[in-house]
Chains A and B, each alone.
Chain A
Amino acid sequence: MRVSVDLGLCEDHGQCAIAAPAVFRINDDGKLEYDAEPADSELENVEEAADVCPVQAILIAG
């Protein structure tokens, strides 16, 4: 699975880091960091993260 975040849209709400903490993280500077190629076992969490992103910045492929 490939994950991408449109950083032009991202506003660091942090909801993705709650839904899929193994993939998304808000660092100490308050900025998003994420794993662009997480294991397929994370799919459900990543779908949840994409659903709850207030600015709908998360894209999932394959």
Chain B
Amino acid sequence: MAVVGGSLAGLRAAEQLRAAGHQGPVTVFGDEPHLPYNRPPLSKEVLADRTRDTAALMHERLAFRRRASVDDVTFRLGQAVAACDLTARTLTLPDGDTASFDGLVIASGLRPRRLRLEGPQRGRHVLRTIEDCLALQASLAEPSRVVVIGAGFIGCETAATLTSLGHEVVVVEPTGPPMNRVIGSALAGAIQAHHEAHGIRFVIGPGVRGLTGDGADVARTASAADLAAAGDRVTGVLLDDGSTIEADVVVEAVGSVCNTEWLAGNAGLDLTDGVLTANDLAVLGAERVVAVGDVARFPNPMFDEVARRVEHWSMPTDTAKRAARTLVAQLGGQAPDPTPFAPIPSFWSDQFDLRLQSYGSPGLADEVTVEEGDLADLPAGVLTRHTRAGALVGYLAVNLPGARQRDLRDAFVALAPSA
């Protein structure tokens, strides 16, 4: 078995192949040099921890526990798979080496989307890997002026952490209040007000046009060529309303791109947004291939027939369990399990003194109601109920106690379709 992707999804896939009864060799191919590690703390407690200032120390803190069942799994780390031939069932590595497989798990995940910005490149950061976190920390030796581009979850977490560390943080977001696409505009507005009271400045509306650098003054009417020539190090972010926000450091948190280029050239696959699969995570247009984690686009009958990717931390673990059984059954010539796969999406996010915990898919909602608490006092606890055409699709809890989590999740257990 070949597992392409060496993060949480790849690890869980290897573990679940063993749990599903596969006893033959398993190789996990990862592009990062590290064994699988936990990414969420990189925008929170690990970003704030200046004592773990090497990749080894940071990885020691973040490495996933690996089940004993994967002790004999081979991890080939440090190079991304370059190509795959699903007919010949071979992978090609950048060094020209090839590896053959009987079954394939696609667990290659995401990378940060980068803005195509003219101007200086030094001082631009993203936050996904240990190396990204170390680079950002190193650029923040003294209290800095930071512009975070993008008010999604990673942008907000990073902004909150850096503000707490004493940096001066501005968040720029063209589309609306923070995280509004997922949590709804009323709660998003309340969180924005809360974060502003804690020192984050939000600039909502204008888009980012370019970066200014220390090599030249850039006029508001600067051409792209002038911007490209402007200095070496970022000094500010130029917005499309003509204003400039001064910055020593810029963090781009504008979403992700799927790592599927290595699958190009295999006819029959739908790679328009991740990898399209059936409900049981069998990749459409291929045999003996499954997809797991962020990159798998599958329909969840808990909500509807539409195939979607779900970029939540819970998804690799849930999808790996089902995908491994699908793949082991295919290889063994057994009939597929007819039970619908209906995982309950969930995520959390810690920002200042707020913990957001979500169950379901609140982003699908057309209406949001406050069930408990007061949006003007988020720390005291708020629960919002998210519905679509009147039917429950999500709950968003802010600072509700851990003992309440089970009931919120159970509301979705009841929605799961049966075989």
Contacts and interface: CB of A to CB of B under 8 A. Distances in A.
Interface of A: 11-15, 17-18, 21, 26-28, 30, 32, 47, 50-52, 54-56, 58-59
Contact of A54 (B12, B64, B313, B401): B313
B178 to A, nearest CB: 21
B256 interface: no
B401 A30 contact: yes
A54 B40 contact: yes
A28 B403 contact: yes
A30 to B, nearest CB: 4
A18 to B, nearest CB: 5
Instruction: Report the interface size class on chain B.
Output: 20 to 34
Contacts of B116: none
A55 B317 CA distance: 14
23 contacts: A11-B350, A13-B357, A14-B401, A14-B402, A14-B405, A14-B406, A15-B346, A17-B402, A17-B405, A18-B406, A26-B401, A26-B403, A26-B405, A28-B403, A30-B403, A32-B402, A52-B314, A52-B317, A54-B40, A54-B313, A54-B348, A55-B41, A58-B65
Given A14-B406, A51-B12, A56 B401 contact: no
B121 interface: no
Contacts of B67: 47
B34 interface: no
Given A50-B65, A51-B317, A54-B313, A14 B403 contact: yes
Nearest to A15: B405
B402 A30 contact: yes
A48 to B, nearest CB: 8
B76 interface: no
B405 A13 contact: yes
Nearest to B403: A26
Nearest to B350: A11
Nearest to B8: A51
A17 B405 CA distance: 9
Interface in B13-30: none
B384 to A, nearest CB: 19
A27 B261 CA distance: 48
Contacts of A27: 403
A17 B406 contact: yes
A5 to B, nearest CB: 12
Contacts of A30: 401-403
Contact of B405 (A18, A50, A55): A18
A55 to B, nearest CB: 7
Nearest to B62: A56
A55 B350 CA distance: 12
A52 B409 CA distance: 14
A51 to B, nearest CB: 5
B38 A56 contact: yes
B345 to A, nearest CB: 13
Contacts of A55: 38, 41
Contacts of B314: 52
A27 B404 CA distance: 10
Contacts of A15: 346, 405
Given A26-B403, A28-B403, A30-B401, A18 B317 contact: no
A21 B268 CA distance: 44
A22 to B, nearest CB: 13
